[in-house]
Structure 1
Amino acid sequence: MFELNPLLHENAWWQHLIMFVGAGVLGYIIGYRSGESKSFLQNQLSNLQSQLESCKASLVKSTTPITTSAISTPALAHTYNTVTEHPDDLKKIEGIGPKIEELLNQNGILTFVQLSQASTHLLKQVLQEAGPRFQMHDPSTWPRQAELASAGKWQELKDWQDILNKGKE
């Protein structure tokens, strides 16, 4: 009924022409639709970026800006009014590993007392400045854990850490 071989039918060229035109129209429609999708996605991306910038601007207005000098070692040591001879093992805090301990030490947090006095906002800022590898960590329980450790309440700390999941409640 519908043979595509032109050798079998003398007038089969029109069938090839119809298939060629149909393929061209279909290709044009697909290409046009994907172009629409690209422009739609680009508009959506620019809207999301503008929303992100406005959120960042409102966050900066609502919080006290922390500069790099505010996180440096002398500033933290001055803020906490503690002179430390020997740093504590901050890895005893659930959620803090060797790299985060090193990062905190570089930013002047060497003892449990200093960590207990640090605000969660400051700790998050330190983690964010360290890069995406550290941004996933949640320091919200670290000051309370450090407070228990500095007070020598090791059993209470251990009981609470058994409940925590990687430092998160």
Structure 2
Amino acid sequence: MNFDNIWCWLIPLLVGVICAILGYLWGKSNSKTEVIDNSAELKNLNDKNTKLQAELNAAQSKLGAATVTDHTAQLKVDLDTCKGKLKSASATNVVSSLAASGATALAFNAEAAKSAYGKKIKQDDLKIVEGIGPKIEGLFHNFDIKTWKTLSETSIEKCQEVLNSGGERYRIHNPGSWPLQAKMAYEGKWLELVKWQDEHKGGKL
């Protein structure tokens, strides 16, 4: 056997085995390094993700609270606006009803009227006006003038027209002070009205 030929085969074989072992060891070493590096990076990414999630939750909470506050404020404004409109509409309806019915807007104080005249006074009794009797009161009622307020707002010319509608016997009356007297009665100025009538007999100015 030729030993020179054996060493020619054996030496390359040993070198190949040694290279294979070294390659395996080197690859395993790199693999461990990569795993360690990847684990650290993964942990870092997880930490960042947790922090970002916390920030997102906080931002959503603030946004929700701000939205609720904005809606609450807007609802309050809308509610106040509706209340204002309702109050205005109610007041308008009351005034319209009073105007349509000819109702007395001021409260009638029966005791004060009785104290001034010494007798019971009926509300919106036109006969309280000096110069107006039952017949003339009926004429005014025919013209839908049934309250002190309405009479106080009636012109003297209109009062004369009402008298003329009753014929010749009523035309001689002077209605010049009737709206004034009705106004005092409507405003509850009973002492002032009594004094005025005492000084102007027959309702003459």
- TM-score when normalising by structure 1: 0.50
**Equivalent residue number for residue 157 of structure 1:** 193
The structure that has the greater radius of gyration is: 2
Is 1:167 the counterpart of 2:203? The answer is: yes
C-alpha separation between the residues in 1 aligned to 2:138 and 2:100? Answer: 19
Tell which deviates more after alignment, 114-123 or 84-93. Answer: 84-93
Q: What amino acid is the match of 2:164?
A: Q
Query: Equivalent residue of 1:81, what SS?
Result: helix
Equivalent pair of 1:116/1:143 in contact (CA under 8 Å): yes
Alpha-carbon shift at residue 84 of structure 1 (Å): 4.0
| Gaps in structure 1 of 5+ consecutive residues | 1-77
| Gaps in structure 2 of 5+ consecutive residues | 1-95, 105-122
> Percent of aligned pairs with the same residue?
43
Equivalent pair of 2:140/2:146 in contact (CA under 8 Å): yes
User: Which structure is higher in helix share?
Assistant: 2
Is 1:131 the counterpart of 2:167? The answer is: yes
Equivalent pair of 2:102/2:150 in contact (CA under 8 Å): no
Structure 1 residues 109 and 158: CA distance shift in structure 2, 3 A: same
Alpha-carbon shift at residue 81 of structure 1 (Å): 3.0
Residue in structure 2 matching 1:83, options 88, 101, 115:
101
Which consecutive segments of 4 or more residues in structure 1 shift more than 3 A?
84-87
C-alpha separation between the residues in 2 aligned to 1:88 and 1:95? Answer: 15
Aligned length: 91
RMSD (Å), alpha carbons? 2.2
C-alpha separation between the residues in 2 aligned to 1:141 and 1:149? Answer: 12
Equivalent pair of 1:82/1:114 in contact (CA under 8 Å): no
Q: What amino acid is the match of 2:99?
A: N
